[in-house]
Amino acid sequence: GCQPDSKNLIMVKVGRGISAGIVIKGQLFYGDGAGAGEIGHVVAVDGGEACRCGNFGCLETVASTRAIVKRAKVIAQSNPHSLLHNFAPTVEAIDLPAVHQAFVASDEDVQQIISDVGRFLGAALAHLVGALNIEHILIGGLMSSFGEPLLESIRRAMRRRAMSLLVDETQVGFSTLGTNSVILGAGAIILTEELGIV
């Protein structure tokens, strides 16, 4: 993940939704209304697709696993030669593992999807880095399977949108906590706030 002595970090969970946990000086930052890190519902595309929150073009509509699969299905529907057809029996059966397999098999359309996801995530993270100057960012959830190409797309977008002096000092990597990151994070909060242990 990141250096074990990191007191400041941002943990971004990308799944069907997108959210960020912000840790400052070893403490989870909640914000005044306990809504800090709700980056999934910040608009990424003006006039974009309707989001379940009622707004349009939110980050979740273009960078969540749900958005990835939805876009992959559109590609497969319109392109009978897409490699996605090799990894799912029907268009409707396409899921994230099928998308990943097509990505590994060098399907250019799928690789573009993941590049775009990185671009949108990087743009959102650039704002956090600019505002908070936190040098450790971890990406959690199932996206780690897309590896360095996704991270490089994120870093590239961050470099375009935030001060290079800050971005150059920021490490972006994948969490090593796997799909248990939310459970472990909740446990850490309980230990910290109720028992004063962590």
Is residue 4 in some structural domain?
A: no
**CATH number for the domain that contains residue 37:** 3.30.420.40
- List the domain range (segments joined by +) for residue 123: 9-193
Is residue 2 in some structural domain?
A: no
Phi, psi of 105 (to 5 degrees): -80, 5
Residue 191: the pLDDT is 46
Q: pLDDT by residue (tens digit) across 72-87? A: 999 999 999 999 999 9
Tokens describing residue 50: 């309707």
Residue 188: the pLDDT is 47
* Helices (H), ranges, the chain: 60-63, 65-78, 96-104, 108-132, 147-161, 164-167, 181-193
Cα–Cα distance for residue pair 198/169, rounded to 1 Å: 27
Q: Average pLDDT in the 49-68 region? A: 97
Query: Does 7 have pLDDT greater than 70?
Result: yes
Which residues, including other chains, have CB under 8 Å from residue 185's CB and lie 6 or more apart? 11, 21
Phi, psi of 168 (to 5 degrees): -65, -25
How many domains does the structure of the chain reveal?
1
Is residue 3 in some structural domain?
A: no
pLDDT confidence bin for 190, thresholds 50/70/90: very low
Is residue 132 in some structural domain?
A: yes
The pTM (predicted TM-score) of the whole model is 0.88
Q: Average pLDDT in the 93-118 region? A: 98
Q: What is the mean pLDDT of the chain?
A: 90
Query: Does 187 have pLDDT greater than 70?
Result: no
pLDDT confidence bin for 193, thresholds 50/70/90: low
Is residue 37 in some structural domain?
A: yes
pLDDT confidence bin for 195, thresholds 50/70/90: low
How buried is residue 70: exposed, middle or buried, by Cβ count under 10 Å (0-12/13-18/19+)?
middle
Is residue 87 in some structural domain?
A: yes
Residue 179: the pLDDT is 53
